[in-house]
Amino acid sequence: MKRTTKTLRQAKGKSQIVCITAYDAVTARLADAADVDVILVGDSVGNVVLGFESTVPVTMDMMAHHTAAVARTRPNALIAADIPFGVAHGEFSDLLKFCMRLMQECGAEAVKIEGGAEMAPTIARLTAAGVPVWAHIGLQGQCVFQEGGYRKFGKTEQEYAEILAAAKAHEAAGAFALLVEMMVPELAAEITRSVSIPAIGIGAGKDCDGQIIVMHDILGLSPKKPSFAKVYADLSAQAVTAISAYRDDVREKR
């Protein structure tokens, strides 16, 4: 069954929405064969497969290239694409043009935008233009240089209140879902209870409407994975064993 923003909204409150990243046709086919609900073409493509240290160097062209590869597989999962660093803070017309490119030329069905309450007016303009927006709050990978690293959010009363307010502002702005990353589980749970749109967690406890994970982290394909990501398979080890067997066959002239 094809997943849409409507099927996600209908799944609110059931804690069953399954989301995962994919960056190309190979990983998109794997995700869809496993019947996930959402494939995110995350800007984590930068550090997970393109060899960058963070998501910051990821460009619009890179996102377009990877989103199109995922969409060519025509998955049942909803295809969401990340808006990369800086773009949502520039001219609105440039942002809208890029969303149009992602949706019209690359096959994205939604976009994901990092940002606190300050991003709500932009989200309202995009949703008014017909762009489905998934709002990303809590830890925002694109702020890694500003933050000086990665950490858990919502530990102080002020930060807790700001993130909760951002969740409500994004809902009011028309976001179809929230992504709540790396925050104290009580905050993720309160956000989930407080908004009528699905809240999808990562490193935010179990009391969300669903979870998202970076595929390469759970398949043992990431050199650095966050502590909350459970490894379900060690594909790196299996691949090295297979490639070594091939190497031996070649060298032994088999």
Least distance CB 126 / ligand KIV (angstroms): 18
Which residue has its beta carbon closest to ligand KIV? Answer: 42
Instruction: Please identify, among the stretches 41-49, 164-172, 183-191, 218-226, the one whose residues bind ligand KIV according to the rule CB under 6 A.
Output: 41-49
Nearest CA to 142 among 37, 52, 218? 52
- Interaction between residue 212 and ligand KIV (CB under 6 A): yes
The answer to the question of residue 37 lying near ligand KIV (CB under 6 A) is no
Q: Does 222 bind ligand KIV (CB under 6 A)?
A: no
Q: Taking contact as CB under 6 A, which single stretch among the options 36-44, 91-99, 159-167, 234-242 is the one that binds ligand KIV?
A: 36-44
3-state secondary structure the chain: CCCCHHHHHHCCCCCCEEEEECCCHHHHHHHHHCCCCEEEECCCHHHHCCCCCCCCCCCHHHHHHHHHHHHCCCCCCEEEEECCCCHHHCCHHHHHHHHHHHHHHCCCCEEEEECCHHHHHHHHHHHHCCCCEEEEEECCHHHHHHHCCCCCECCCHHHHHHHHHHHHHHHHHCCCEEEEECECHHHHHHHHHHCCCCEEEECCCCCCCEEEECHHHHCCCCCCCCCCCCCCCCHHHHHHHHHHHHHHHHHCCC
Identify which of residues 68 and 249 has a Cβ nearer to ligand KIV in the complex: 68
Q: Is 174 left (phi over 0), alpha (psi -120 to 50) or beta?
A: left
Interface pick for ligand KIV out of 180, 202, 208, 215 (rule CB under 6 A): 202
Please report whether residue 44 would count as binding ligand KIV according to CB under 6 A.
yes
Q: Judged by CB under 6 A, does residue 42 bind ligand KIV?
A: yes
- Minimal distance in Å, beta carbon 214 to ligand KIV? 5
| Comparison of 134 and 243: residue with beta carbon closer to ligand KIV | 134
Q: Is 126 in the site for ligand KIV (CB under 6 A)?
A: no
Q: Which of 214, 215, 219, 221 binds ligand KIV (CB under 6 A)?
A: 214
Least distance between ligand KIV and beta carbon 239 (Å):
22
CB 159 within 8 A of CB 172: no
> Residue 181 interacts with ligand KIV (CB under 6 A)?
yes
Given 37, 82, 190, 217, the residue binding ligand KIV (CB under 6 A)? 82
Q: Residues in the site for ligand KIV, rule: CB under 6 A?
A: 21, 40, 42-44, 82, 181, 202, 212, 214
